[in-house]
Chains A and B, each alone.
Chain A
Amino acid sequence: MSTIIDRRSSGTRSTANQDRLQRRVRARLKVAVEKMARSGSIEDLANADQPISIPTRDLHEPNFRRDLSDTSWERVLPGNKEYQRGDKISKPEGGGSGKGREGSPDGLGEDEVAIVLSADEFLDLLFDGLALPNLRKTALGDIQTDQWRRAGFIKDGSPSRMHVGRTMRAARARRLALRAGKRRELQDLLDARGTLQEEIQGRLAQKQDVSVEQERLSELDRQIAALERKIKAIPFIDEADLRFAHIDQQPHPITNAVMFCVMDVSGSMGEKEKDLAKRFFLLLYLFVHRHYQAVQIIFIKHHSTASECSEQAFFGAREGGGTLVSPAITLTEEIMQQRFPPDRWNVYLAQVSDGDNYFADNAVVEEHLMSLLPRLRNLFYLEVNRDSESDLLQLYEAIAQDFPELITARASEREDIYPLFRTLFATEEMPSHA
């Protein structure tokens, strides 16, 4: 009287509850996510899978409950060893109700709930309501490669692509179709022959003449033989049955992106400025990352010369000397040409500088930018730690009149970065650049 059912394949049904939970603590999750964005290392954050702890008081479900801490009560306990009736046991310090437990190894207290966000949910929260700007001219997905894709089945093709299953299926269908009518006809003839033979038997028994019937019988036999020949002649496989797997070239958007991070490491860029830069790069990276399968980062530092370097060197380095911006732009261009041709890559450039540039260099920068910009998706320029706009920023702003892909901003405090980022990319402000 018992049934056994295997439910394992029906999977988990927790998604709806999970959604509603996240919905409820969205504000808190956002705060936590933004906090993580401020303190994490650049590449770690893109794969954020860490649990975010939410205080349970946010998720408290109140009900009418007794509070016995301050009242008389009586309790029955197991495990008496030495007590007799009337014994007095002194109360522990602090009223006796709180025996706190130590936190668990992952730092979650008892009054916290860990919510694990997927990378997508994390970024959704971080970039809630933001979009990449200025994509109307060079819409995302413009850049395409051709990829071979399966595209159904066709009736001719090279033998190597013949699809046996489909071919046999077609052959069988054809055989069935061609035979069916003939079979039916054959059956009719056989039936007729049967009745005729019975008739002949009958007439013979009554000693009647059967010559007409005999003739009719041999006629039937001829027809039957002819039909059987025809049925046999239906080929097992015919040229018309052949099917070939078809592949076709289809345009496919490039899903790889590269982000060049260019930073001024001359003496004037201190820890604070670098920190600003780091925040900016981090957010950009994450933001760009949402749109592509994979994003590569190239770090380029420059003072009077420019060089490619590691992340550590990039943020750790402090080098003296004057500042030239053009070598960095040139180097970016070179690396792009060699390793990331823009017809195969979505190229982004993010630049942070304090704007100190050798005056004569600005013209060189302009010239290079003019040739570089059309091949970029975006160029983000952040100027840090200045009281007034530098010549370089003014130059960039002028260029931005013609190239809305160039986006400029200024920041002087760490706290500015995320709000700045939000204003830059807020969707409602998007079209108004020219």
Chain B
Amino acid sequence: MPKFLFTDNDWTFARIDTVTEAIAAIAAEELQLDTYPNQLEIISAEQMLDAYASIGLPVYYAHWSFGKQRAIESGQYRRGEMGLAYELVINSNPCISYLMEENTMTMQTLVIAHAAYGHNAFFKNNVFFQQWTDAEGILDYLEFAQRYIAHCEERYGIDAVTDVLDAAHAISRNGVDRARRPRQLSAREEERRREERERYLQQQLSEIWRTLPPHSVDQPADAAVFPPSPQENLLYFIEKNAPHLEGWKREILRIVRKIAQYLYPQGQTKIMNEGFACFVHYHILHSLHARGLITDGTLLEFYASHTAVTFQPDFDDPRYSGINPYALGFAMFQDIKRICLAPTDEDHRWFPFAGDPDWRKHIHFAMREFRDESFVLQYLSPKVMRDLHLFALSNDPSATTYQVSAIHDDSGYQYLRQALAQQIAESTRPPDIQIVSVDRWGDRHLRLRQMDSQPLAQDEAQRTLSFVHSLWGYDVHLDMEDLSLREPRSS
């Protein structure tokens, strides 16, 4: 009978080491997780706040918005309104997990299982992370970005750099290739290609912007439409085509775009990522207990944290602030396992894999192949909907009441699934705004069009447009559902 790994609750480096080994063994033997090598870093609360301010990235360029974020969060933290996360994990190879120094040994165990094995395996295997991000290159690239922007600040002044970053940040959510797989990052490659780009870009631009077309005279005939098809990646288009943008500004746009691209899958897989990590830590902690490696006390402390994290307040609870991705994700992954091991008749009707005892295969498949929207469409089971008491509410702006459009009953399950998937899709996707044309032969104005039908916040859109204008250098229009905003030339 092995001894307990620890009985009192103070963490030490040696204990973290032995616990990590035990967890690694369980992760490999019982869950068959495939992970990046782990790098566990112990940090203080201040450093955790730093990490928060820079979206968890270990290295980031300087910008006032990160200072603002930190001011807000450290204020909330000091007033006790917000607890800090116990961990933070970075999609990189090796996979970096931050452990707070305040954590008890039980918490460190939980965090290692959750982040260093749960999230880590998700990062490595989920198809969206595989396709959209480059865990190998990100740390190098972030360092390159930080260096380059610091260099620009020295050379062109902090204010000039801030202006470009402000504008780039404003459209960074519209700076992601959604349909096309981006190229891999490589810092060295970046450095080398950066100079090349700078040299050739102006040349290439002059081609597009030649005032007198070579064969000329009948110009508007072939001037029909540029770009030939609408472009969804605003940052990319401006970086490549803005008439008078200096080289270093283009490079900054590129940096913002690359980082936005890297972060894109995280927003798409929040429920799955957290749900899977919770599923993994839940399994591992139980297994540690079953193997006699942790005490009953540790298990109880774990339950307290676990239930706090996966708690879903009801819609009428003052604590309610939307659907808790931890709660929903965890419930769904647990339910996949249950459907495999103890299926009901209902499960057999809903899920072809119900009753297949190899639950790992199905958990792995779900974890690899989906993102939140499709995951909900595929796996949200009637039982989970019943457990969470889900219902759908619809709003008609002209009516004085909301209407309950579906509840968790036989006639509502399908409807709820689709409504929730739709809701997730909308909340993770920015408004679809694309560049439809540039007036190459006229006043060079840039025309954007909103491709979806949901109304934009007008004031916001106006201000965002003025940022686009500042980058493009000429007039910018946005065609919306019924009205068109025009950015005045003078701004």
Interface footprint category on A:
35 or more
Closest approach, in angstroms, between the C-beta of A314 and any C-beta of chain B?
A: 36
Interface positions, chain A 1-37, Cβ under 8 Å from B, are 1-8, 10-14, 16-24
CB-defined contacts of A105 to chain B, threshold 8 Å: 79
A21–B64 contact, CB under 8 A?
yes
Closest approach, in angstroms, between the C-beta of B309 and any C-beta of chain A?
A: 16
CB-defined contacts of B458 to chain A, threshold 8 Å: 67
Q: Which one, A4, A64, A81, A114, contacts B433 given CB within 8 A?
A: A64
CB-defined contacts of A2 to chain B, threshold 8 Å: 20, 24, 37-40, 116
Known: A62-B460, A71-B455. Is A14-B313 also a contact (CB below 8 A)? no
Interface membership of A168, Cβ < 8 A: no
Closest B residue by C-beta to A17: B67
Interface membership of A74, Cβ < 8 A: yes
A21–B68 contact, CB under 8 A?
yes
Complex alpha-carbon distance, A16 and B54, angstroms: 12
B47–A72 contact, CB under 8 A?
no
Complex alpha-carbon distance, A56 and B75, angstroms: 14
Most chain B CB within 10 A, of A4, A5, A104, A105, is at: A4
CB-defined contacts of A78 to chain B, threshold 8 Å: 312-315, 323, 388-390
Q: Which one, B38, B64, B422, contacts A1 given CB within 8 A?
A: B38
Closest A residue by C-beta to B42: A6
CB-defined contacts of B408 to chain A, threshold 8 Å: 80
Known: A63-B464, A78-B315. Is A8-B406 also a contact (CB below 8 A)? no
Closest A residue by C-beta to B117: A2
Known: A74-B392, A78-B388. Is A85-B454 also a contact (CB below 8 A)? no
B402–A79 contact, CB under 8 A?
no
Interface membership of A84, Cβ < 8 A: yes
A64–B431 contact, CB under 8 A?
yes
Closest approach, in angstroms, between the C-beta of B164 and any C-beta of chain A?
A: 13
Interface membership of B71, Cβ < 8 A: yes
Interface window among B272-280, B412-420, B437-445:
B412-420
A17–B63 contact, CB under 8 A?
yes
Complex alpha-carbon distance, A115 and B395, angstroms: 40
Q: Which one, B50, B158, B464, contacts A64 given CB within 8 A?
A: B464
Interface membership of A90, Cβ < 8 A: yes
Interface membership of B316, Cβ < 8 A: yes
Interface window among B167-175, B177-185, B221-229, B283-291:
B167-175
Closest A residue by C-beta to B62: A16
Closest approach, in angstroms, between the C-beta of A64 and any C-beta of chain B?
A: 5
Interface membership of A66, Cβ < 8 A: yes
A7–B42 contact, CB under 8 A?
yes
Q: Which one, B71, B419, B455, contacts A115 given CB within 8 A?
A: B71
CB-defined contacts of A62 to chain B, threshold 8 Å: 170, 459-461, 463-464, 467
Q: Which one, B393, B400, B459, contacts A90 given CB within 8 A?
A: B400
Interface membership of B245, Cβ < 8 A: no
Query: Per-residue CB proximity of A224-259 to B under 8 Å, as 1/0?
Result: 000000000000000000000000000000000000
Complex alpha-carbon distance, A106 and B80, angstroms: 12
B389–A81 contact, CB under 8 A?
yes
CB-defined contacts of A64 to chain B, threshold 8 Å: 171, 173-174, 430-431, 433, 456, 460-461, 464
Complex alpha-carbon distance, A12 and B45, angstroms: 10
Most chain B CB within 10 A, of A10, A19, A66, is at: A66
CB-defined contacts of A89 to chain B, threshold 8 Å: 393, 401-404
Interface membership of A341, Cβ < 8 A: no
Known: A12-B46, A64-B461. Is A76-B71 also a contact (CB below 8 A)? no
Interface membership of B162, Cβ < 8 A: yes
Complex alpha-carbon distance, A5 and B40, angstroms: 6
Complex alpha-carbon distance, A86 and B411, angstroms: 12
The secondary structure that dominates the B interface is mixed
Complex alpha-carbon distance, A17 and B42, angstroms: 23
Interface membership of B49, Cβ < 8 A: yes
Q: How many residues of B contact A (CB 8 A)?
A: 95
Interface membership of B394, Cβ < 8 A: yes
Complex alpha-carbon distance, A203 and B47, angstroms: 81
CB-defined contacts of A74 to chain B, threshold 8 Å: 392-395, 405, 419, 422-423
Closest A residue by C-beta to B405: A74
Q: Which one, A14, A71, A87, A96, contacts B70 given CB within 8 A?
A: A14
A8–B403 contact, CB under 8 A?
no
A8–B101 contact, CB under 8 A?
yes
A20–B162 contact, CB under 8 A?
yes
Complex alpha-carbon distance, A70 and B457, angstroms: 10
A104–B401 contact, CB under 8 A?
no
Known: A20-B63, A74-B423. Is A67-B315 also a contact (CB below 8 A)? no
Closest approach, in angstroms, between the C-beta of B314 and any C-beta of chain A?
A: 2
Complex alpha-carbon distance, A84 and B412, angstroms: 10
Closest B residue by C-beta to A74: B394
Interface positions, chain A 347-371, Cβ under 8 Å from B, are none
Closest B residue by C-beta to A95: B397
Query: Per-residue CB proximity of A109-143 to B under 8 Å, as 1/0?
Result: 00001111000000000000000000000000000
B66–A77 contact, CB under 8 A?
no
Closest approach, in angstroms, between the C-beta of B473 and any C-beta of chain A?
A: 19
Closest A residue by C-beta to B81: A104
Closest approach, in angstroms, between the C-beta of B111 and any C-beta of chain A?
A: 13
Query: Per-residue CB proximity of B22-40 to A under 8 Å, as 1/0?
Result: 0010000000000001111
Closest B residue by C-beta to A20: B64
Interface membership of B127, Cβ < 8 A: no
B44–A8 contact, CB under 8 A?
yes
CB-defined contacts of A184 to chain B, threshold 8 Å: none
A91–B402 contact, CB under 8 A?
yes
A87–B404 contact, CB under 8 A?
yes
B407–A84 contact, CB under 8 A?
yes
Q: Which one, A6, A67, A114, contacts B13 given CB within 8 A?
A: A6
Closest approach, in angstroms, between the C-beta of A50 and any C-beta of chain B?
A: 13
Kindly list 14 other residue pairs between chains A and B, CB separation below 8 angstroms, not including A68-B454, A89-B393.
A2-B40, A3-B38, A5-B39, A14-B67, A17-B70, A18-B70, A19-B62, A20-B63, A56-B68, A59-B64, A67-B458, A78-B390, A80-B389, A86-B404
For the complex of A and B, the 3 pairs showing the least CB-CB separation, nearest first, are A79-B314, A21-B67, A17-B67
Q: Which residues from chain A sit less than 8 Å from chain B, CB to CB?
A: 1-8, 10-14, 16-24, 51, 56, 59-68, 70-81, 83-91, 96, 104-106, 108, 113-116
25 cross-chain CB contacts under 8 A: A2-B24, A5-B39, A8-B43, A13-B50, A59-B68, A60-B463, A62-B463, A62-B464, A63-B169, A63-B430, A63-B464, A64-B174, A64-B461, A65-B431, A66-B454, A75-B395, A76-B393, A76-B416, A80-B390, A83-B391, A85-B411, A87-B404, A89-B402, A105-B79, A116-B71
